[in-house]
Chains A and B, each alone.
Chain A
């Protein structure tokens, strides 16, 4: 018996017992090591190469390598104004987000105020509504306040709108951490002779810090990344920050425009990476009590002050989230911008015109829907597979994969958009397949940017499923395909799809990347609203914003409906 040949022979014989080749064989092929590593490599290249190309481009002037771009740009006074604006705006708005987010989180997590669930929905609203629509709403709202003369087209205005657009991020991070701090720890301080205030400072604050820092950093990155708000408010008032500077370089088509834009992008990317680095440094030691369950019951009982606190919160939430939207709706119904809101001035003409006469609107809605749908589908499949390997086969390769997929999302959108141009204009130097200038560049860019959202959503789904459940399926004779079909998919689908909703709604109303990559015929919702706003068609931009919000609502309802029906049918069968 010569060891191996005998082995293989018997193995083959054993296998040939099962000659029923299923159509699903390809599926298990995917999980064979070689194919796996190859596909992982491809994914790595798609996500990392653009950043490298952008970086190289910033060192290119007059078709040769040089530091010229950097020396030129850094010696311009304009650049330093831009950097100063960026710092002021980003830091200012982050402070607003932190103050609002943390206070709301503490009240919502620990006190006995009523209707928390409903409050939470309204608190999260500015996070779901695209920031440029929030901006339009606020400009209309401020215009309606006759008592004060507030100018949103200013540094303060930009800081304010950014701050209230991103406080939900801080809120979300902090409220979860706060709820997970075991109340026994606070009791232990009280039992050891410390008062409420001591318990707060020595237990609550240090333990909540990871959440606060994490939320603050996400808000910081979002403020840095945001293009809609500084573009809508800053461009008319000549306040330029890094993301709008890149945009203006590219559409300005000046000499060395792309290289200069690339250099600004590297500066912006450095800001973002710096913030990410600080976040990592601050959080590296904190072990958030991951396993602790959230404790939803109140810890502080407000008595007389409860109605007052509740009233203040509602006033704030409604004032920040709802009233501006109503102002926007009001404007969208006006015959001519600037008229007073009386019955004879009200019309549905704007909606009529957008939906039936101005064919770019229908095209944009359709484009955005197609792009969002395709992006969601691609991310759903690839992202879920990546998440599976990341969770089930942790190795250096899968870790590197996750990091490289997260890079395009960590980088500001404007930076990624530019990187996309460099990469896909000529994927192989000298060969231009015409991707740039078509709708496909948008699809590729969306997939590259938002893949990580799905990976994270699906990862959390897989961590909740023990490996035993999969092994039990194999032991029971299930093939890889049957295991996914009957065991994994039914279990992961609800949480995977909530990741998909995030991808769907984000791509549907994306503006930053689209503003740089759109071309005639491939306009998206964001681009059309941006163009209306730039051209001064306020009634149209408000009307289209209203249409977009309705559209988002319908889509979200549809997807949640599917999840609901699926869960019911899984339970019924």
Chain B
């Protein structure tokens, strides 16, 4: 199902949570909405779900208007599923009853699913790997199992759009990586459109077909993970998604000279015009390398964080912290003076 948002605005009292959002979610697409807390991503999801009514603009699902300023279809009348951050499993129902509930109540359930609802429940529990726990109560499940049940429940009625609201953020790190993989496999299997809200940029990069970066109620950039990561359009996207250092200096065509060492010239192609205009170069930590000659960013090592595969290094350059990554065999020590240059990865 194709979903379109046209000039969506949302006002809470005097606070404008969304300031005009235009977005299309194609059929079968996995869209991740990412941004810091308070950027409006959850509001956007709640508008798609139907828990909120837009203050302005329209939401179309399959070319039908489901929400506008004057009217909004309630959630139960939209063909959607939702996975909550808190799992939201009903404490008085067994696992199989949770998954059965949408099959009984959803008006968009296809007749053949409704007829074979028992089989559908088994199928869904198989997909999330929980068929052996069908008779458990939610209180008897671990966090990861709970979220798997919630996913099975959200998908059992075969919705055309699946909304996921930070589904992994209440799980521990190991489970997060595990479920990340599983959600993607499920998406490949069922091919329904997914809107996935998260504040974790690595989740968005790993899972999505398309990433929407939001800030202060506006979309900063839409693109594939590669586009967003390698070619950020704004400073915010560069620092939030690619964790880039924003180095001040001057541009000359595709060449950049940092203001702390004007004689240095880095070849940096394909950078967005906005960076050229503001005289900033977004350099990702892995793009910086120690160099022997004295030309480049000069500074003093402030801290070294051993990460196993690499060492994350913080260098103080004229009072500004520059992050870069270096191999574990480098014998850097805190207090060392170093010179950094961009390598063209």
Contacts and interface: CB of A to CB of B under 8 A. Distances in A.
A and B interact: yes
A471 B84 contact: yes
A473 to B, nearest CB: 8
A314 interface: no
Interface stretch (B86-94, B204-212, B239-247, B281-289): B86-94
Given A8-B70, A472-B88, A472-B90, A477 B65 contact: no
Interface of A: 3-4, 6-8, 10-11, 13-15, 17-18, 466, 468-469, 471-479, 482, 486-487, 490-491, 570-571
A428 to B, nearest CB: 40
7 contacts: A6-B65, A7-B68, A13-B64, A18-B107, A474-B50, A475-B76, A491-B90
B20 interface: no
Interface of B: 49-51, 58, 64-66, 68, 70-71, 73-77, 80-82, 84, 86-92, 101-102, 105-109, 150, 153-154, 157
* Residue in B71, B76, B87, B91 whose Cβ sees the most chain A Cβ within 10 Å: B76
Contact of B86 (A468, A475, A482, A487): A468
B90 A469 contact: yes
A287 to B, nearest CB: 24
A486 B88 contact: no
B149 to A, nearest CB: 11
B60 to A, nearest CB: 9
Given A471-B75, A476-B101, A477-B76, 18 more contacts: A4-B70, A7-B71, A13-B64, A14-B64, A466-B88, A468-B84, A469-B91, A472-B88, A472-B150, A475-B82, A475-B102, A476-B76, A476-B153, A476-B157, A477-B108, A477-B157, A482-B105, A486-B101
Contacts of A482: 105
A393 to B, nearest CB: 13
* Residue in B64, B90, B108, B150 whose Cβ sees the most chain A Cβ within 10 Å: B90
Nearest to B87: A468
* Residue in B66, B84, B108 whose Cβ sees the most chain A Cβ within 10 Å: B84
A474 B75 contact: yes
Given A477-B102, A478-B101, A472 B66 contact: no
Nearest to A14: B64
A3 B69 CA distance: 10
B77 A7 contact: no
A471 B82 contact: yes
A475 B65 contact: no
Contacts of A14: 64, 66, 73, 77
Contacts of A15: 73, 77
Contacts of B76: 474-479
A475 B77 contact: no
A490 B86 CA distance: 20
A271 B100 CA distance: 57
Contacts of A8: 70-71
A15 B72 CA distance: 11
Nearest to A7: B68
Nearest to B109: A477
B272 to A, nearest CB: 35
Given A10-B64, A18-B77, A478-B76, A571 B107 contact: no
A476 B76 CA distance: 7
Given A6-B65, A10-B64, A11-B65, A474 B86 contact: no
Nearest to A474: B75
A8 B86 CA distance: 35
Nearest to B60: A10
Nearest to A491: B92
A471 B51 contact: yes
Contacts of A10: 64-65
Nearest to B51: A471
B33 to A, nearest CB: 18
A7 B58 contact: yes
Contact of B102 (A17, A18, A476): A476
A469 B87 CA distance: 9
Nearest to B74: A474
Given A471-B82, A478-B76, A490-B92, A11 B107 contact: no
Nearest to A12: B71
B110 to A, nearest CB: 13
Contacts of B106: 476-477
A300 B169 CA distance: 41
B107 A487 contact: no
A13 to B, nearest CB: 8
